[in-house]
Structure formats: C-alpha cells, structure tokens
C-alpha cells in the first residue's frame, strides 16, 4: 500500500474517532469545574445549606408551634397545657394563616449558616476519617461517625447562634401584649435591633445550650443516619431510596430524644428579657435546668416530644435526601 494512501486512511480514522467522542471529552472545560479542588471542598457546604433551606421552608409552621408549646405555662407546674392543634388555632385566630411562617427569613438564614456548616464539616470530617482508615486497611465505625457528628454540630451552632436567636425572638413576639411586641420586619431588622438595644454579645445568648443541643442532635441525626444506612445496605434488600427514608426516620427519633431538653432550655434562654428589676429569669443553662425542674417538673423538658419529632424527622429526611441527591448530582 502506498504511503499517501496509508496517510489518508490514518487521517480518516483519526477524524472519525474525534467526531464520535462524547462532547464532554472534546471540551477541555466541560465537567471539569466540579472537580476543581476548591469546588470539591465547597460543595458539601453548599449542598448542605441548600438542603437545610429546602427542609426549613417545608416544616416552618411545625417549628412555630413547637416554640409556642415550649413557652406555654412558663414558671408553673399547673400552667397552661395546650396541645399542638390548640396552639395552631390560636396563632391563626390572632392573625392569619401566614403567621405560621413568622420568622421564616431567620430560619432560612440559620440554615444557610448552620446547616451549611454542620453538613459541610461532617462530610469533610468523614472524608478525612475514611482516608485515614483506608491507609491502615480499616473501615470507620460508629465511634468515628459519632465524633464527626458531635464536632460538626458544635462548630456550626456557634456560627449560627445569632440567626437562631432572631428566629426565637420573632416566633415568641406574638405571645407578648400588643403594646410590648417588637414587631420585627425581618431577620435583618431583628438582628440589628437586638444588637443596638442589648449589645452585640446578646446575639450569642443561649449559646451554651445551642451548642450542646446541636451536638446532641447531630449525634442522633448524622451518626445514627450514617450507621443505620450502612446496616440497612449490608443486611437488607431495600432500594436506595427506602434505605435513606428508613435511616432518616431512625435518625430523627434519636436526634429528638437526645436534643429536646437542650432545645427547650435554648428556647427559654433566647426568649427571655429583663424584668422590672433589671434581672433575667435565668442566669445560665444550669440555672434554667434547675428552675424548670423545681417549678415545672422534670417531664416539662419533654413536653411536645411528638411535635418536636414531627419537626425533626421530616426536616432530617428532607435535608439528608436533598443533600444526598445534590451530592450525586454534583459528583
């Protein structure tokens, strides 16, 4: 075969290979953006924040009812004992259906900060722990998952406390007499007025129980979700979606059980304001635990557990499912 003919056949073959290659392979930038180191590092945080905001938009009315239940009958064993339906009716009767979404802007900001940080930190810690275990020929267990969940929750809670405080203030404002209400217009308005009127440090009121609550919640949610999903994958024939839903429900229960007492104290501390004598009802997390136990009974810490679970479980399910979905989408 002549050399010109060989060259022509070679050129034809090369052209055919190029034309039949997928577009992504021919493009030097397509698909590469998500694999850049800084983007890969940021994606767990971005996906976590978006997942948390989607969940909060869905369950905000339940969170509003939960806060009102925790503040009902404060300081008395024989105080009001409303149920979730009564609280919901009262909120709607005093205003409108949209009042169930009071504080949504603060809730979204909290998720943009808190959930972005906690899921991002958790994913980052788990990746590092897996890599370290693999170098030793081992696999990570529940202990490592628990440590990652506790640490991620504590760090994220400190960052997100101002938004959390603004959310509680906005949701509890409707319990005050009309002439004493702050009538916050938005989360920005709430944060700026609290900072001006009470000082910047007031934005971190209740930070101790917020951090402990977050650590307890993340221990129950992230550690048990990760462990349950691993066990379900190994021991059942459930589909991936069914595994995620089941693991989320299990995680939601444990997250609720471990964190509700601290969530209760957090709500009381963040809602409180100085009385006529210039003093706050509670001086610390321990003081709040002591006074509530003495004046209202120890079971008060678990009042509204059903509502809290209905708030936590769907939030956990939506957050973790959306985060899983976004993780696959951006892989």
Mean pLDDT within 75-100: 79
Per-residue pLDDT tens digits for 106-137: 889 888 888 888 878 888 899 899 999 999 88
pLDDT of residue 26: 43
Per-residue pLDDT tens digits for 150-195: 898 899 999 899 998 998 899 888 888 888 899 999 999 999 999 9
pLDDT band at residue 292, thresholds of 50, 70 and 90?
Answer: very high
pLDDT of residue 25: 43
pLDDT of residue 78: 64
| Distance (Å, whole) CA 256 – CA 253 | 5
Q: Please check whether residue 251 is in contact with residue 316, taking contact to mean a CB–CB distance below 8 angstroms.
A: yes
Which of 281, 277, 298 minimizes the C-alpha distance to 289?
A: 298
Which of 204, 201, 116, 197 minimizes the C-alpha distance to 164?
A: 204
Q: What is the DSSP letter of 74?
A: T
pLDDT band at residue 331, thresholds of 50, 70 and 90?
Answer: low
Per-residue pLDDT tens digits for 197-231: 999 999 998 888 889 988 888 788 777 888 888 89
Which segments of the chain does DSSP mark as H helices, in order? 3-20, 23-26, 37-71, 84-94, 104-110, 116-135, 142-172, 187-198, 207-218, 224-235, 240-271, 285-296, 305-329
pLDDT band at residue 241, thresholds of 50, 70 and 90?
Answer: confident
Residue 16 has pLDDT above 60, yes or no: no
User: pTM surpassing 0.75?
Assistant: no
Mean pLDDT within 257-286: 88
Q: Please check whether residue 218 is in contact with residue 149, taking contact to mean a CB–CB distance below 8 angstroms.
A: yes
| Distance (Å, whole) CA 218 – CA 222 | 5
């Amino acid at each position: 075969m002549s050399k010109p003919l060989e060259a022509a056949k070679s050129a034809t073959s090369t052209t055919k290979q190029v034309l039949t290659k997928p577009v992504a392979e021919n493009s030097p930038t397509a698909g590469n953006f998500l694999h850049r180191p800084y983007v890969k590092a940021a994606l767990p945080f971005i996906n976590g924040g978006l997942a948390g905001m989607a969940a909060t938009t869905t369950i905000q009315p339940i969170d509003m009812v939960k806060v009102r239940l925790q503040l009902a009958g404060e300081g008395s064993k024989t105080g009001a004992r409303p149920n979730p339906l009564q609280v919901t009716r009262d909120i709607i009767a005093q205003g409108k259906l949209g009042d169930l979404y009071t504080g949504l802007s603060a809730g979204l900001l909290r998720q943009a900060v808190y959930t972005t940080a906690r899921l991002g930190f958790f994913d980052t810690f788990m990746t590092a722990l897996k890599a370290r275990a693999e170098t030793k020929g081992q696999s990570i267990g529940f202990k490592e998952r628990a440590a990652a969940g506790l640490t991620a929750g504590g760090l994220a809670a400190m960052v997100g406390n101002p938004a959390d405080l603004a959310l509680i203030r906005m949701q509890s404002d409707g319990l005050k007499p009309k002439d004493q209400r702050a009538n916050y217009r938005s989360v920005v308005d709430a944060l700026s007025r609290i900072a001006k009127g009470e000082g910047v440090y007031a934005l971190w009121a209740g930070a101790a129980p917020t951090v402990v609550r977050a650590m307890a919640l993340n221990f129950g949610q992230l550690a048990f979700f990760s462990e349950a999903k691993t066990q379900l994958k190994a021991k059942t024939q459930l589909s991936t979606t069914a595994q995620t839903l089941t693991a989320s429900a299990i995680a939601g229960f444990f997250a609720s059980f471990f964190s509700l007492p601290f969530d209760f104290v957090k709500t009381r501390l963040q809602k409180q304001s100085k009385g006529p004598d210039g003093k706050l009802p509670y001086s610390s997390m321990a003081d709040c635990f002591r006074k509530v136990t003495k004046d209202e009974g120890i079971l008060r810490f678990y009042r509204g557990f059903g509502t809290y679970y209905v708030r936590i479980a769907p939030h956990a399910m939506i957050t973790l499912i959306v985060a899983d979905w976004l993780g696959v989408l951006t892989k």
